[in-house]
Chain A
């Protein structure tokens, strides 16, 4: 009785960690520039396809593909940020939504054209397969690995934001962009770096997600919704908020699918609407 419950909770937790990796970047960049970037899910998808391509066609080991997924997604995002996004920082939400949803459509079609529409197979190495049994409960090794990576990344992020000069600049820009500019901080430059970092993390999340949720061309849109829910529920610009929201959404989604399969994703959407009505700026948002 307790065993399956713990297993579901753990699966949900691991899933939440995955969602956190994919959404934390959007949370920070949205907090800084208020730029509604719906293409964030596409950067995660790019990471997934980088890993699949490197492993299946070039024979790279799985672990080596992860930094590559991070880098490629980051490079793509900076290219878009420099050429398209930066022109729209002062534009209306509608224009931002339209531009980025246009990019989502293009990325989905491009991926369907190159890779087809079928689910991409992936074979993680043997040492990441199987289960570890603790107190009579089976923990999948891959999910443990996922949790470890996500925790390491969040620790790095928190340390980076709290104790480095760059982190201080980012926090200043999130708190009050005009004031930060007034103090001589080059907000545009730190934003470009943050944007690359956040999209890279999305790419890493996408690469890690292939084994758990599968990867096909619709990934960008399906997980975009989850990412947006986490960002808006957690509050813009808040890492702790994203982490908490991701864990809550991950666990409730997994538990919902396990215990109330007929409800589908209904619960998640309901929770999101209620939280937003209660706290429009999210659980940890200040604006």
Chain B
């Protein structure tokens, strides 16, 4: 958020200006329809990307906007995923209601844990989020009678969407469904960020101690956004189970938390489109290099992280913004 001139802007006007849809944004969302016509054989991948983008968006709300560094965000993703998986195993497979239940269960976990994380910053916060993630993973691993342990949950069956659209092998339904859910959640996130509440979150990110001094209750705000973010992560987890009909411990793993962090950082944290752009880059690259041993894949991820921290502090979108800003200022 760089203001070129030092003029004082009225807050309401500032928020309204941010809330206006930019043509690039509209073009971006229209472009998400392209896979239907140009890459029909990649629709399953596209649906995975949309889900990853949703997960990254949920992390962006807490990390990019409120400055809560989390190394255990997979806890909420996995919570949503296992809730959906377990209920469908019991014989109820209606996708939309499962999505709501998955979101609620993750939200409940998020609400409870938000009380734990809200007072902390820095290393303590990182360790507590990491600990919560690992705790849930260990719990799911130990309760193998419930979760199937390392083998994953067997026998997940999801009914057709709205009783008409079967989840087909090519991913038509999966991508349409994931894209619509992503778009709806994105609208919510967008509205949230461009509200006074969103502005307060950015204030907390910049200085969590000073915010209460101007009358913004930091902890309450942090608890709110953490719960909202957990709900969104739960929706992403529920979606991945509904579109793939599998759940395993991988949904709760540290790698899952680290991957989503990498996606967000690659795209640019603290920007609404950062997570989405980052997950497109990450998932497409991983698909292209899928022949490479996953062990070596992580070498390039590591190198990418180092390079981004050193040379591209605001991710790809931040770099683009800098480029276009330079280009605009050169024009008379």
Contact = CB atoms under 8 A, between A and B. Distances in A.
A273 B135 contact: yes
B303 interface: yes
A280 B124 contact: yes
Contact of A266 (B135, B298, B299): B135
B301 A105 contact: yes
Contact of B254 (A88, A106, A221): A221
B299 A110 contact: yes
Contact of A276 (B127, B265, B297): B127
Range for the number of chain A residues in contact with chain B? 35 or more
Interface string A53-91: 000000000000000000000000000000010011001
Interface in B281-326: 293, 295-299, 301-306, 308-310, 313
Interface string B170-209: 0000000000000000000000000000000000000000
B266 to A, nearest CB: 10
Interface string A270-287: 101100110011000000
Interface string B113-127: 000100110111011
A273 B132 contact: yes
Interface stretch (A13-21, A43-51, A196-204, A225-233): A225-233
A30 B302 contact: no
A106 B142 contact: no
A263 B137 CA distance: 11
B305 A105 contact: yes
A52 interface: no
B139 interface: yes
B138 A269 contact: yes
Given A99-B309, A269-B134, A117 B295 contact: yes
A109 B310 CA distance: 21
A113 B306 contact: no
Contact of B126 (A93, A107, A264, A266): A93
Nearest to B301: A105
A104 B123 contact: no
Interface in B229-277: 254, 258, 261, 265, 269
A135 interface: no
A8 interface: no
Interface of B is mostly: helix
Nearest to A111: B295
Contact of B303 (A101, A106, A113, A266): A106
Given A101-B258, A217-B295, A225-B130, A93 B306 contact: no
A1 interface: no
B45 interface: no
B58 interface: no
A244 B178 CA distance: 50
Contact of A103 (B126, B269, B302, B304): B302
A265 B254 CA distance: 14
Given A104-B302, A110-B299, A113-B296, A281 B135 contact: no
Interface of A: 30, 34, 36, 84, 87-88, 91, 93-95, 97-99, 101-110, 112-113, 117, 217, 221, 225, 228-229, 232, 236, 262-266, 269-270, 272-273, 276-277, 280-281
29 contacts: A30-B123, A34-B122, A36-B126, A91-B309, A93-B126, A95-B309, A98-B261, A99-B309, A101-B302, A101-B305, A102-B301, A105-B298, A105-B305, A106-B298, A106-B299, A108-B298, A109-B298, A225-B130, A225-B134, A229-B131, A265-B134, A265-B138, A269-B134, A273-B128, A273-B131, A273-B132, A276-B131, A277-B128, A280-B120
Interface of B: 63, 67, 69, 71, 116, 119-120, 122-124, 126-128, 130-132, 134-135, 138-139, 141-142, 254, 258, 261, 265, 269, 293, 295-299, 301-306, 308-310, 313
